[in-house]
Structure 1
């Protein structure tokens, strides 16, 4: 993608801020918008241009990337009267990196095509660490030929970038990812509590098991946070519950049984009842602690 193209970035939260920063460092002009303006301050200091509204950003950008909270936020930012598709230029590439629903991704793609734009659903995995290190896994749905045009931009934010198919394919892939994580997080939490109650040094146990058959991102990256009592969000519990609900609804539509996923969602919901909705997903450890 020509670096003279201007990138608009909407959603500069835990992950988005780092992602937008990589684009700036990659030599692109970046317009930014976030509902809470203060979350863009550091990016503006790095050279980003603050836009007051989604409409202003859409009008003045050639490629637009979004990573917001919930499907309702995605729908509002793309499809509302003041949203992106009503104000972006013909030929604009739209990349939604929010974890949202496959159905909404297909709807955005259809509406974008009618306006002469290219839309992609490109959810990510890797949390705050992956975003900071530009090592995200990016799962992309959308037109394959147009995908080649945005690939250089995606490589500034991630290292494992896969085009999965037509619109919605990225979101379906992300649901598979979240299903795998859900049960894994229960296993990691249980293992760390078990080690503690057995009187073992949890850090030594982790060194022994993280490179073997039990190895996973959750074990190597989030178990150390559990041990230290660090429950700050790399990925919010409230957003993980949102993802699990989307996955359960999608699986139910296919007639697929997901007992592990449903149990994980139940446990996380119990944490939310205790006020942990803004903690990181590693806070599941607290559920098992005596």
Structure 2
């Protein structure tokens, strides 16, 4: 197998993965797909992708393998399990995990892949469902220069800002930094809107005003209007964000970095997830600050005050 990538195995066709895989097909790559729930891959199969019964089946014969799954345990099973991707990938294949996962696991996968002569990259993304649909994702990459160069046509089909940050695990470390920043901005949005409401201001005017000044942010501009419209549909699930914040804090602890603000955000998101919000989008943290009727309409049964009291 040469360095040119023609066929791609794509594992994980959920909210973001399906759109990302579709862009690869649009770019002319032959696609082999697997997803835990086959129905979510059917639109791609109808377009000509080949369905495969397992990650290992999908990897066999593909020039590159991309995974976009839910949890580190899914990554570990897909790559390191019996009959998994590393065991069955073709000689010279490029492995790219785009799941938000553990930096330490990314290093393990890279070592196992290297032992078989396979190149691997950890390449988590930011931009949510909108970025996935519009092929404007930010892609944070860890691995070696040659593997990164080979993957460039794949990344160009799915994203807009692509950066190699270092060796194995560096992409995941950058994504953890990203999630830490998002946690702070989401909490800031929630408390900004709560303050505006309690002071009698029009929240829509507040968002418009702040978006023209130093408080302007992607979260404010993109999620502020969605929150005011009662749109808590997931671009990124609360349950997955809880997973990410746990990874971030575990990694920080291993480096002896103290992140009390992130720890607070994690506790609030954990309580939200445990009280009806796990399947909502990350902007649903704002529900913790809304009245009981608004919370109950979304199936959330706890307020911010109760959430923080429960976490102490």
Q: Normalising by structure 2, report the TM-score.
A: 0.90
Secondary structure of the structure 2 residue equivalent to 1:35: coil
Q: Which residue of 1 aligns with 2:110?
A: 109
Q: Please tell me whether the aligned partners of residues 140 and 174 of structure 2 are also in contact (alpha carbons under 8 angstroms).
A: yes
Give me the whole-angstrom Cα distance separating, in 2, the residues matched to 1:54 and 1:204.
Answer: 49
Q: Which residue of 2 aligns with 1:254?
A: 255
1:287 Cα offset (Å): 0.6
1:201 Cα offset (Å): 2.6
Q: Please tell me whether the aligned partners of residues 95 and 118 of structure 2 are also in contact (alpha carbons under 8 angstroms).
A: yes
Aligned length: 289
1:212 Cα offset (Å): 2.1
Q: CA RMSD in A?
A: 1.2
Secondary structure of the structure 2 residue equivalent to 1:275: helix
Give me the whole-angstrom Cα distance separating, in 2, the residues matched to 1:123 and 1:136.
Answer: 10
Q: Normalising by structure 1, report the TM-score.
A: 0.97
1:195 Cα offset (Å): 2.0
What's the CA shift string for 1:105-145, capped at 9, x where partnerless?
A: 01100110111110100000111011111111100000112
Secondary structure of the structure 2 residue equivalent to 1:274: helix
Map of 1:12-161 to 2, 5 A cutoff? 12-161=13-162
What's the CA shift string for 1:143-163, capped at 9, x where partnerless?
A: 112211111110111111000
What's the CA shift string for 1:67-106, capped at 9, x where partnerless?
A: 1011000000000012100000110000000011111101
Give me the whole-angstrom Cα distance separating, in 2, the residues matched to 1:46 and 1:209.
Answer: 44
Give me the whole-angstrom Cα distance separating, in 2, the residues matched to 1:277 and 1:76.
Answer: 23
Q: Which runs of 5+ in 2 are unaligned?
A: 292-312
What's the CA shift string for 1:2-53, capped at 9, x where partnerless?
A: 46x1001000001001100100111111111001000001111222211122
Q: Which runs of 5+ in 1 are unaligned?
A: none
Q: Which residue of 2 aligns with 1:283?
A: 284
Give me the whole-angstrom Cα distance separating, in 2, the residues matched to 1:246 and 1:152.
Answer: 29
Instruction: Report which structure shows greater RCO (CA 8 Å, sep ≥6).
Output: 1
Give me the whole-angstrom Cα distance separating, in 2, the residues matched to 1:44 and 1:208.
Answer: 46
Give me the whole-angstrom Cα distance separating, in 1, the residues matched to 2:227 and 2:210.
Answer: 16
Does the alignment pair 1:198 with 2:199?
yes
1:238 Cα offset (Å): 0.6
